[in-house]
Amino acid sequence: MRISELAELAQVSTKAIRYYEQLGLIQPNRLSNGYRDYSDHDLKVVGEIRVLAGVGINPARANPFIECLDMGHEHSDECPASLAAYRASIAELDRTIASLTSRREHLAERLHHGASRTFRTESQTMADSSLTLPNNLPIPEDDGAADHLGGLAMPSLTLSATDGSTVNLAALGNGRSIIYLYPLTGVPGADLPDGWESIPGARGCTTEACDFRDHHATLREAGAEEVYGLSSQDPHYQCEVVDRLSLPFPMLSDPEFSLADALKLPTFSAPGHARLYTRLTLVVNAGTIEHVFYPIFPPNTHAQQVLEWLRS
């Protein structure tokens, strides 16, 4: 068959076929008039090159696979050289992923440092505005997602805290501990997810933290041995919040959603965030969940709600 026929059958350009020839991946015969004559085997080879390109192996590295087909194998990855090429491509991807992950972590760290250093005025403006919730926020409904929690034992999970310690949730002590779970707090200079205010119960993490800050002493007096905030944000992110809001209690970081999975807690997604904690508060007494606040609204007075429960 001619090059135009091969290109049409293989759904590639004639330029691509000539490139494969330059790489030595296909070697057509020549007719007496000098035209190239491609075979059904060449068609299979071009198809295999396309498949390999789809999984990230470019034509320049396809030679071991095509040699395997030329040796008569039905599949191009039945030869040791093909498997070695797979391993080399995977190793290269691992290096790329590690490099990108490192770059992302470095950028995130610079963002947090830059936000706290450069946006002092903006931080104050944000803090002032975030303490007043917008009107007409959607009110979350009780969907029953927390009905099973009362009386459950806290799992043996150790989480990092912003004070540098680690906290075992199954070993909080015999007194009452308050753990309020929240989705995420905003950082000056960084936008919240699109449509954040339209998600019931999402807006108000800063106001909730400030309410627990302002009532921390009275919560302790009413019987709360410890108060913790908990989210999936990393400790560095949370440390910025603790410092900016002058929180007198530590935040716990659960980026793997270990507690959510162990207790089947409600979570939700938002643009840029595949999973976030739904706002919820646990009262833990002697390792057991004594009481659950869910849903929570409005968040800016929730600490007072917990205080009233403790006093009663």
DSSP 286-300: TTEEEEEE-S---GG
Residue 64 pLDDT exceeds 80: yes
Using 50, 70 and 90 to split pLDDT, how confident is the model at 136? confident
214-259: pLDDT as tens digits: 999 999 999 999 999 999 999 988 999 999 999 999 999 999 999 9
255-294: pLDDT as tens digits: 999 999 999 999 999 999 999 999 999 999 999 999 999 9
pTM (2 d.p.): 0.61
Most confident of 23-32, 67-76, 96-105, 136-145: 136-145
Rounded CA-CA distance 157/149 in Å is 16
- Domains (range + CATH), the chain: 3-88 (1.10.1660.10), 145-311 (3.40.30.10)
Q: Please state the rounded mean pLDDT for residues 116-145.
A: 68
Q: What is the pLDDT of residue 276?
A: 97
Q: What is the pLDDT of residue 302?
A: 97
Rounded CA-CA distance 204/118 in Å is 24
Residue 127 pLDDT exceeds 90: no
Residue 147 pLDDT exceeds 80: yes
Q: Please state the rounded mean pLDDT for residues 12-23.
A: 90
Residue 171 backbone phi and psi in degrees, to 5:
-130, 50
List 259's β-bridge partners, or say none.
Answer: none
Rounded CA-CA distance 111/119 in Å is 11
In degrees, rounded to 5, the angle at the alpha carbon of residue 215 between the alpha carbons of residues 118 and 136 is 70
Task: Tell me the chain's radius of gyration from C-alpha atoms.
Answer: 30
Would you state the torsion angle of the CA atoms of residues 250, 253, 254, 260, taken in this order, to the nearest 10 degrees? 30
Residues 6+ apart with CB under 8 A from 74: none
Cβ atoms of residues 207 and 297 within 8 Å: no
